[in-house]
Structure 1
Amino acid sequence: MRLLFSIGAVLVSGVLAGGDVASIAAPGPKSGPSKFESSRQRQAADGDAQSVDVELILAVDVSYSMDMDELAIQREGYAQAIQSKEFLQALKAGPAGRIAVTYFEWAASNDQKIIIPWRLIDGPETADAVAAEIMKTPIRRASRTSISGAIGFAMPLFDEDPYHGLRRVIDISGDGPNNNGGPVTLARDAALEKGIVINGLPIMVKEPSYSTMDIDNLDYYYEDCVIGGPGSFVIAIKGREKFKEAIRTKLLMEVAGRTPDRPVVHVADKDKEPRVSCTIGEKIWSDRWGR
């Protein structure tokens, strides 16, 4: 049984307050640490100069269904969250007191662009530098939505960075289901096999319409088809005014590496039928355009 937690106004690590949080998936029973976990824990324990609390990949949707205003608010949300007092407090509370971050934008299965290569954030100065890099890059838009392509692009990035984190996390934000590239569940499962956690930020600020690939219950789709791994969670953005708050809450949780204690919602096991079809995006695209 996979558990999801609704945190509402629950405080996370003493620094999270509010946020339009949908749910958090609790880790299932474990027989012991994986080889990957043991290896990275040893690296951190050895006092490696490049050890960090988490290697975090921010994978941001720039498909045409996102309007320019949303893209601008999204950029500002990440920049402001990284510079926030709460984020820096959570950063210092970790064992290493620092994290590694890379930020890329994605659309179709062959369209990913790294905006910020791996950067170390260990205090206000490095946080300000990363935020400035995010804001100075021109905003772009592109066609199609391939969450599977974003996950597939992200996985090798962990092998290329010089840092050793106790956790490896891919953070996917987007406003629609996968409609291009391979099945999203296969990409998700490949990442989970490598010990990678996937979190989700479904953007649900517009009513679904025929002219876009928006669907009802995108948060359910992310919960059942996209996220996974111990402590994985979804934070749904259901209003433009919630963008920045939700992004800040999400980053705080990822840095803190903690989840609320009290399970309040039980969701079907992973092997059971998802509440929203994991191929709904591909079906909508095929029904409309026949390819």
Structure 2
Amino acid sequence: MRWWISIGMVCLAGVLAGDVATVVAAPRAQLAQQPSEKETSVDVELILAVDVSYSMDLDELAIQREGYAQALSSREFLQALKNGLHGRIAVTYFEWAASSDQKIIIPWRLIDGPESADAVAAEILKTPIRRASRTSISGAIYFAMPLFDENPYRGLRRVIDISGDGPNNNGPSPVTIARDEAVNKGITINGLPIMVKEPSYSTMDIENLDLYYRDCVTGGRGSFVVTIKSREEFKEAIRTKLLMEVAGHTPPPRFVPVADDPSKEPRVSCTIGEKIWQDRWGR
């Protein structure tokens, strides 16, 4: 089952701060196989896939970077980390734009306490900000999937965390095909749709990006969407999302569920980005 959350409706960080100690980690039996001597067991293998397309302005990109860095160093995050079955996670952070444009900023790192968390946060902040053309969520998913098999960690869960401010408009396939391939591999995709600006012709924004992410991008066991609708929500939303991913937390019942029903039509066309691009530029 998938879930959606609006930061404007509820501050989940406070809920998690009180409840995270009661989160029960996934049972050991859920591991596909025991790690080899060269592998390290972790609670989650987490890929942070961050949009740097031109529709994101420099201020938004800076706030986004700061949000991830501050979340990783926060007291709530470190408490969630401590209460995991293994007390550590593996994380990698890459930026994406077009289908051929992905750049790893943080290679796979083990975070097992304040020192390692602060080191990753500092490295995120010191990397120069960049921007690039097009928006390929499908390209980001295809880039992310093999990264799980290239790291020396074995997690109870594998999660791709995608943030972006527009629909897929470029890539080797529609975003739903890429999503389904990932979900079929046991990967969960969570979303952070950024909706801080009014839809614009020049930036290819759409009005219902949150619905697009819920129905076309996210999927897998326990997947969810956290929506950002103002600049002030950036850092809180990122912290909330990371807390849920690290703790393996299931959203409380008061959040509205979105059923994983493949026969149900998406509420927003999952190829809307490709159609807009074709209509405007004919390629």
**TM-score normalized by structure 1?**
0.87
Q: 1:264 to 1:55 in 2, by over 3 A?
A: closer
Which residue is equivalent to 1:216?
A: 207
Q: 1:70 to 1:126 in 2, by over 3 A?
A: same
How far residue 214 of structure 1 moved from its aligned partner, in angstroms, is: 0.5
> Which structure 2 residues correspond to residues 1-291 of structure 1 after superposition, within 5 A?
2=1, 4=3, 6=5, 8-9=10-11, 11-12=15-16, 14=18, 37-40=30-33, 42-43=34-35, 50-181=40-171, 182-262=173-253, 265=256, 267=258, 269-291=261-283
Residues 4 and 258 in structure 2, CA contact (< 8 A), matched pair in contact too: no
Higher deviation after alignment, 262-271 or 66-75: 262-271
Root-mean-square deviation (Å): 2.0
In 2, the alpha carbon distance for the partners of 1:192 and 1:3 equals 12
In 2, the alpha carbon distance for the partners of 1:128 and 1:257 equals 22
In 2, the alpha carbon distance for the partners of 1:99 and 1:5 equals 24
- 1:114-161: per-residue Cα shift (whole Å, max 9, x none)? 000000000000001000110111000000000000000000000000
How far residue 260 of structure 1 moved from its aligned partner, in angstroms, is: 2.6
How far residue 258 of structure 1 moved from its aligned partner, in angstroms, is: 1.0
Letter in 1 for 2:63: I
SS of the residue aligned with 1:155? helix
Residues 228 and 234 in structure 2, CA contact (< 8 A), matched pair in contact too: yes
How far residue 267 of structure 1 moved from its aligned partner, in angstroms, is: 3.9
> Tell me, which stretches of 5 or more residues in structure 2 are unaligned?
21-26
SS of the residue aligned with 1:58? strand
- 1:252-277: per-residue Cα shift (whole Å, max 9, x none)? 00000011341553546232110000
> Tell me, which stretches of 5 or more residues in structure 1 are unaligned?
17-32
SS of the residue aligned with 1:275? coil
Residues 5 and 262 in structure 1, CA contact (< 8 A), matched pair in contact too: no
In 1, the alpha carbon distance for the partners of 2:11 and 2:125 equals 30
**TM-score normalized by structure 2?**
0.90
In 1, the alpha carbon distance for the partners of 2:44 and 2:265 equals 32
Residues 4 and 263 in structure 1, CA contact (< 8 A), matched pair in contact too: no
In 2, the alpha carbon distance for the partners of 1:47 and 1:89 equals 28
Letter in 1 for 2:64: Q
SS of the residue aligned with 1:250? helix
Identical aligned residues as a percent: 77
Residues 2 and 257 in structure 2, CA contact (< 8 A), matched pair in contact too: yes
In 1, the alpha carbon distance for the partners of 2:144 and 2:39 equals 24
Residues 214 and 258 in structure 2, CA contact (< 8 A), matched pair in contact too: no
